[in-house]
Structure 1
Amino acid sequence: MQKDMTKGNPMPIILQFTWPLFLGNVFQQVYNAVDSMIVGRFVGSGALAAVGSTGTIMFLVIGAATGLSTGFTVLTSQRYGIHDEEGIKKSVANGMLLSAAVIILMTVSSLLGMKGILRLLNTPENIFEDAYTYISIICAGIIASVAYNFFSACLRAIGNSKVPLVTLIFSACLNVVLDLALIVGLKMGVAGAALATIISQGVSALMCFLYIWKKETMLRPEWEQMRFFPEDTKKQLGVGVPMALQFAITASGTMVMQAAINLFGALAVASYTAASKLQNMLTQGMMAIGQTMATYSGQNYGAGEVDRIKKGVNAALLVDIVYSVIAGLVAYLGLPVLLKFFFESGTDMTQIMFYAKRYTVLCILFYIPLCVIFIFRNTMQGCGYGFLPMMGGVVELLARLLCAVIAMRVMSYSLAVFCDPAAWLAAGIFTMVSYFHVIKKIEKRKELGSTGTAAK
């Protein structure tokens, strides 16, 4: 089920590749949403707040680790664009070894510093222990998340977005069963929610690995290739490290935002948590388009097809703008109904709705800048340019930091939740300008006959 994206009309190719990614992303969000719903309804709003208060830490730790491992597969995509099968196997082997190093480093460092991070985020005392229990188990299982993201990214690099979808659907269903068994049946609370997530991710990683081993020989390195290749290491770290830093920088901004929201108490945290879960699910279409553009631009950059990259970006922008309008309407109209699934029956939703609606409405107004970030950032990364996308993360951090500091000083919840929209607007402008700069640079390289050398 490989897909060569260097030929044919860009629009249908992008849509065909995006659809499975979108469904897969939605099912991946089901992991967290189901955890939150079951925890909120069967354990209580305090436990929901505890799980929600760790969301930004998960984004920092898991995002940085998976950003590295996913970045390692950009070289695989570029080599697929020029049909270099031996080079593909070498890049996969090198990426696997680098990912193993990432797993060890991130697992140890995150577990050692977790209590300090929770204190730094102003985590309320009444939810501190539950928050620590949940995030510690998640960090101990980083191997599952990194393994899934690496193997699924390898499959996407050769144009296969359907197998990652199938594995995610299965693991999402498994996650629901495990949640009910561990949280409701065995009364394990937030620990059960974390274990269900880790086990489900581990199963999806194993399924992707087994598929690659049996079906995709192009992605299966020979035993003698299981070693570090200095040139490949340099190229993969050149993309993976900026991607990880971009995740880490963006996450640092969301952590500052979380610290500001935490000052308004457990009810505000629980309300924001529920609204953000719905928000994350609805924005997965934008993220899927971005993931598609990473593969699309990687293959076409490797093949030296610069004009196709630009046509693909224009098609992706059109799709994403339409999607943003639809997602905004669904978010606004569906919030009052969907929010109730996160809380115990009989809960007074008046104050919860106030906090949740304020965040949701502000975000809807800035969906288009958000989709611009995903498209331009992933396109640049697919072409092997990691620095400017990383700097876009710095812009996001600065915007969130400014809003959060002012919000904490004047104690404004509205300003605290405006951190996300402010970051999207600032980074959207930055990444758009950066994209045009990168495209001009690539065109000049093509004129000199050196486009695609990064893939060799």
Structure 2
Amino acid sequence: MERKSEGQVSIVRDLTNGSVTKLIVMFAMPLFVANALQAVYNLVDMIVVGQVIGGSGMSAVSIGGDVLHLLTFLAMGFASAGQVIISQYVGAKKHDMISKMIGTMFTFLFAIALLMAVVCYLFRYQILDLLNTPAESYQYTMDYMVICICGLGFIYGYNIVSAILRGMGDSRRPFVFIAIAAIINTILDIYFVVFCKMGVAGAALATVIGQGISFLISLIYLYRKKEEFGFDFCRKSFRITGEVLKPLLVLGIPMAIQSAAINISKIVLTAWINAEGVIYSALAGIYNKSSMMMGIVSNSFTTAGSTMTGQSIGAKKYDRVPKILKVVLTISLVIAMSASVALFCFPDVIFTLFTNDQEVLEKATLVVMPIILNFFGCATRAGAFSLINGSGNSRLNLLVALIDGIMGRIGLAALFGYVLKWYSTGFWYGDAVAGFAPILIGTIFFLSGRWRKGVQ
């Protein structure tokens, strides 16, 4: 691509031309691997700890991981919003606005990360008490959570850099950064937990070190390419600019609420399940991590689809959007079906990857069908959010957050769990069924044609 004039971005991948299927696959594959490796952080922690410590260790990593995911809802929401806005700026060729968005995102989100870390540390005991953390895993959970809080800034930083690159159409570099971190995390997990006998604290420390290295490498890359990205890294460039802060807040707040609502609902369900004992708490960890793997597929194709949709809307190439959604939905459903067949046919093989605790494995069949249902819910979400997020419709994002995250998941879980007396099984089914809400809302939104308006 030719170098642009000063102040403009030169490393930009145009996703508004060429084969839709080829571009989505090429863009989504690095995202999928990167997201899978990012998920490996908590998954490896759970597997290593589960094999060494057992159910109480798995419970600690599951609960601590849920808390950490909740703390990152603002990073996920605002980074996703920034990515969508940057992609639309790219499509509209507003290169000066991209530089302003980069500086604003860095300063704004790092301030939020610091605030979240301080608040969570101050109320750490109250948080674990609200979650009905089992006594057997309480101290393990506390160790894991406190150490991970110290690395919260690294998570926010990585999400900022990744959002910038992905908004410009680059999905390969985020994959490289997170791959390095995942390898370091896996090696340190085994070293700290197995050889140093540090237990759950060692797993958390390995995670934080991996995240820190990932962020530092990504930041160095961005700095070395600063001229090509149109961002000079001078102190004045990190000033929050009202011109871009407003659209970031308008879109970011609903997207953050959407992320928070889903995480809060999972926290509520975790608290309900934890009340039934450490065995069910460990099962919740298996359900969450198994579902998370399909969530990785969904998030990867959602990111690819929403970036392509954003660029297409910014360039006013509206006829390209239905093709994008069709490809995203088709590929996601094929993957969901393949994963479901594997889980249904070989559940014992998959569950023993998490633990050898026989008490946990004896009840593991309870989560098989809820996990499969969740797989298909995640697949349909990819198509819906490619349109909803890519169009930048803030009001619709808020509506989905409330219906999907709060009313749907918590409401259905309470209905199945308490009213129908299915208890833990009902909580998992409620969570899975609620995952189909976005595709219903997204279909109505697509048919209305309002997505052509862009960021709202």
| Structure 2 equivalent of residue 265 of structure 1 | 277
| Structure 1 equivalent of residue 400 of structure 2 | 392
Unmatched segments (≥5 aa) in structure 1: 446-450
SS of 1:341's partner is coil
2:26 maps to 1:16: yes
Deviation at 1:374, TM superposition (A): 2.8
- Preserved CA contact (<8 Å) 1:28 1:168: yes
Q: Identify which range, 26-35 or 367-376, moves more after superposition.
A: 367-376
Distance 1:69 1:283, change over 3 A: closer
Q: Deviations over 1:368-400 (max 9, x none)?
A: 332222332243222221221232121122122
| Structure 1 equivalent of residue 92 of structure 2 | 82
SS of 1:212's partner is helix
- Preserved CA contact (<8 Å) 2:344 2:368: yes
1:322-361 equivalences in 2 (<5 Å): 322-344=334-356, 347-348=357-358, 351-361=359-369
- Distance in 1 (alpha carbons) for counterparts of 2:374 and 2:192: 38
SS of 1:4's partner is coil
- Preserved CA contact (<8 Å) 2:63 2:141: yes
- Distance in 2 (alpha carbons) for counterparts of 1:378 and 1:389: 12
Deviation at 1:216, TM superposition (A): 5.5
2:427 maps to 1:419: no
- Preserved CA contact (<8 Å) 1:243 1:390: yes
Q: Identify which range, 294-303 or 271-280, moves more after superposition.
A: 271-280
Deviation at 1:11, TM superposition (A): 1.4
Distance 1:220 1:5, change over 3 A: same
Give the counterpart of 1:363 among 371, 375, 388: 371
Q: Deviations over 1:146-196 (max 9, x none)?
A: 111110111111111111111121111100111122212222211111111
Letter in 2 for 1:377: F
| Structure 1 equivalent of residue 71 of structure 2 | 61
- Preserved CA contact (<8 Å) 1:317 1:372: yes
| Structure 1 equivalent of residue 450 of structure 2 | 441
Give the counterpart of 2:413 among 383, 393, 404: 404
- Distance in 2 (alpha carbons) for counterparts of 1:371 and 1:216: 37
- Preserved CA contact (<8 Å) 2:380 2:436: no
1:291-306 equivalences in 2 (<5 Å): 291-306=303-318
Deviation at 1:236, TM superposition (A): 0.9
Q: Identify which range, 154-163 or 2-11, moves more after superposition.
A: 2-11
SS of 1:264's partner is coil
2:119 maps to 1:109: yes
| Structure 2 equivalent of residue 97 of structure 1 | 107
- Distance in 1 (alpha carbons) for counterparts of 2:440 and 2:451: 20
SS of 1:365's partner is helix
Deviation at 1:316, TM superposition (A): 1.2
Letter in 2 for 1:394: L
TM-score normalised by the chain length of structure 2 = 0.91
- Preserved CA contact (<8 Å) 1:250 1:394: no
Q: Identify which range, 19-28 or 81-90, moves more after superposition.
A: 81-90
| Structure 1 equivalent of residue 225 of structure 2 | 215
Q: Percent identity?
A: 27
Q: Deviations over 1:312-360 (max 9, x none)?
A: 112211111212111211232343113223224xx42xx4235333223
TM-score normalised by the chain length of structure 1 = 0.91
Number of paired residues?
Answer: 441
2:443 maps to 1:432: yes
| Structure 1 equivalent of residue 184 of structure 2 | 174
Distance 1:370 1:292, change over 3 A: same
| Structure 2 equivalent of residue 165 of structure 1 | 175
Letter in 2 for 1:335: P
- Preserved CA contact (<8 Å) 1:121 1:262: yes
Deviation at 1:197, TM superposition (A): 0.8
| Structure 1 equivalent of residue 6 of structure 2 | none
- Preserved CA contact (<8 Å) 1:179 1:192: yes
- Preserved CA contact (<8 Å) 2:409 2:430: yes
- Alpha-carbon RMSD: 2.1
1:30-49 equivalences in 2 (<5 Å): 30-49=40-59
Deviation at 1:143, TM superposition (A): 0.3
Distance 1:425 1:226, change over 3 A: closer
1:166-205 equivalences in 2 (<5 Å): 166-205=176-215
- Preserved CA contact (<8 Å) 1:74 1:239: no
| Structure 2 equivalent of residue 237 of structure 1 | 249
Letter in 1 for 2:68: M
